Structure 1
Amino acid sequence: MKKFVMLITVAVGLMQTSCNKKLLEYESDDVRVEIAEGEEWLHDFPLFLGIKKKNPPQIAIWIEDSSGRYVSTIYVSQKIATEGWLNANGNRRKEALPRWCHSRGIQYDDGLFCPTKQQPVTDALTGATPRKGFGMYFREKTGLQRFRVLVEVNHSTDFTDVYAEDAAPSSPYYSGGKEGSGQPALVYMADVDLSMQSRSFTASLIGHSSPDGSDGGIYTDMEGIDSALRIVKQITVRLK
């Protein structure tokens, strides 16, 4: 598999609390992915007895070539990378970040594409999503002049009247039930061309992932999606 060599030197423990703004100096053709948080970045996640915790979203950042073939993962939230879900009651949460899961193309023993406790993600930086916007560096080492940077974001239990908690499994709006996502994951993409004079590329929303996580498709019908649109304010890919 083609790899991107990472230029990240922070420890996972540091990533669990904040993002180091001074990871490394840019070198020639180094790339930085910057995610600016929106007003819905933190979401009330129910714990017990009416107590809620404000959680940041689950996020995956990865690279595809210009034809849409998966190349490598830059960063993925620890919960999905290690199956470390809270109060999931055995739910593998296949609907959390299904585009990223299916893009990797790794199918596990239970037939799902999301990592397991026994087989966690090992080829990318993982950690708890920072509670504010953050940035990640990487260096393109495959020789690609053009590639895509994709970012998938999602909150757990982010229900709406359309993506309801009690939606039937047969409904097109079913998103995992009580412990599921509610509104489906959103996918953003930036087309990067290293040969262009432009050194900044803004990612655009290209749609949402499969609500129930059954496939890796992109869907453009945005009915019932509202607060999820405000999780991220802007995603920018910058070159030196």
Structure 2
Amino acid sequence: MNRRLLGNVLIVILLVLLGSGIAMYIIPFSKGLASLHTVFGFLFVLTMVFHIINNKKPLFNYITGNRKPRFQKLQAPFIFSIIVALAFGLYFNIPLLNGVYNFGNQLRNKKLGKVETPFEYEVIELSNANGHHNFEIELKKGNAFQYPLFAIWLEDSLGNYIETLYISRVIASSTFDYGKNVDGKWQSAVKRRPEALPYWSHKRGIKASDGLYVPLNNATDIDAVSGATPTGNFIIKSKSDLNDLKHHKVMLEVNQSYDWNNYYTKDKFPNDDIYSGSGQVGQPSLIYATEVSPLNIKDNTYKIMQLIGHGHHSGKNGNLYKDLSHISTAKQIIDRVILKVH
């Protein structure tokens, strides 16, 4: 191809890409603008192929530094290394390098009247969990999220408990960092919390030595899947074995102390020894669930866990109460929960 013609085409394409790139940086998304930038991007690549073919010999000399001093021969590898490092930093979202992108994002959001709120996830990997199937539970906290406790477990399609995938360590051991106050200072101590996660504890169905279904002293069946209680958005990674030919359910129970409302007041159940006595109560625990089919496992499908009910307000039984009309802010502890099994 004629070099002069090719050069003029490249200049025009570069000017279009420059203009569309600047426009895309400062104004909100436009399909027409994005199409323009994309098409001319492909044209630029195609034109560059012809440019390289037409100038392969001088380009080879530029890159290799043929007949140049030793220092100048390192010029091309040095530039290449800088570009690779920059691309690597941008791709992996290194804050310093992504400042330019973030500034443009703020400009576009401002024009749309939006505010972008970044959030990070705490990853809790239960490395001692056993099984051939990997479970990833991603939870984004809601506006009412403070310091809730969690249990995640596996059931068969009929609702029979199979095993626990994750349990907050303080519930697994019944040992709380702020268990008792001694001379004005908090110390860790055993504290029985049957009201915390009653649906899970009754499903598990194992009584401790004091007759409660809440675990005590790191029970062996859940020791490998007990972990730190998340303090914000989190991803829990656990393992278990599934029958690839059967349907299963993944369940999650969450509870947060002292989140009373107009119905679940401090004196709602005055004759309840736990609710009006030793318990750290408020609104009852909430239960989320989703079904996992053999096809979901094969296709690595993401499933959204849905709120299906609540537990007993003081943990007296393991019933699932589907009437959520008296639940208010507790529904805002969780914004969303997404499950992936593979």
Fold shared by both chains (TM-score > 0.5): yes
State the TM-score, normalizing by the size of structure 1: 0.74
Cα pair 2:140 2:336 within 8 Å, conserved: yes
Cα deviation per residue 1:104-149 (whole Å; 9 max; x = unaligned)? 1101222210012475764442233121121122344242532111
CA distance in 1, matches of 2:221, 2:300: 33
Q: Which runs of 5+ in 2 are unaligned?
A: 1-120, 182-189
Using the aligned pairs only, state the percent identity.
33
- Select which of 175, 185, 194 maps to 2:275: 175
Read off the aligned partner of 1:159 and give its amino acid letter.
W
Q: Which has the higher contact order (CA 8 A, sep 6+)?
A: 1
CA distance in 2, matches of 1:189, 1:79: 23
In structure 2, relative to structure 1, the CA distance for the partners of 1:141 and 1:122 (3 Å cut) is closer
CA distance in 2, matches of 1:32, 1:130: 15
Read off the aligned partner of 1:61 and give its amino acid letter.
I
Query: How does 1:28-43 map onto structure 2 within 5 Å?
Result: 30-42=134-146
Q: Which runs of 5+ in 1 are unaligned?
A: 1-17, 43-55
Cα pair 2:199 2:311 within 8 Å, conserved: yes
Cα pair 1:82 1:120 within 8 Å, conserved: no
The alignment of Structure 1 onto Structure 2 pairs a total of residues equal to: 205
Question: Which secondary structure does the structure 1 equivalent of 2:195 belong to?
Answer: coil
- Displacement, 1:169? 4.2
Aligned to 2:260: 159
Aligned to 1:61: 152
Aligned to 1:188: 288
Aligned to 2:335: 233
Aligned to 1:75: 166
Aligned to 2:319: 217
Cα pair 2:165 2:240 within 8 Å, conserved: no
Aligned to 2:233: 133
- Displacement, 1:92? 1.7
Indicate the structure with greater strand content.
1
Cα pair 2:286 2:311 within 8 Å, conserved: yes
Cα pair 2:166 2:238 within 8 Å, conserved: no
Cα pair 2:137 2:236 within 8 Å, conserved: yes
Read off the aligned partner of 2:134 and give its amino acid letter.
D
Cα deviation per residue 1:139-165 (whole Å; 9 max; x = unaligned)? 442425321110000011221221122
Read off the aligned partner of 1:32 and give its amino acid letter.
E
- Displacement, 1:35? 1.3
In structure 2, relative to structure 1, the CA distance for the partners of 1:22 and 1:208 (3 Å cut) is closer
CA distance in 2, matches of 1:63, 1:124: 15
Larger radius of gyration: 2
Shift >6 Å, 4+ stretches? 21-24
Indicate the structure with greater helix content.
2
Cα pair 1:33 1:237 within 8 Å, conserved: yes
RMSD: 2.8
- Displacement, 1:22? 8.2
Aligned to 1:20: 123
Aligned to 1:50: none
CA distance in 2, matches of 1:72, 1:152: 14
State the TM-score, normalizing by the size of structure 2: 0.54
- Displacement, 1:175? 3.3
CA distance in 1, matches of 2:228, 2:286: 19
In structure 2, relative to structure 1, the CA distance for the partners of 1:170 and 1:222 (3 Å cut) is farther
- Displacement, 1:193? 0.8
In structure 2, relative to structure 1, the CA distance for the partners of 1:153 and 1:117 (3 Å cut) is same
Question: Which secondary structure does the structure 2 equivalent of 1:111 belong to?
Answer: coil
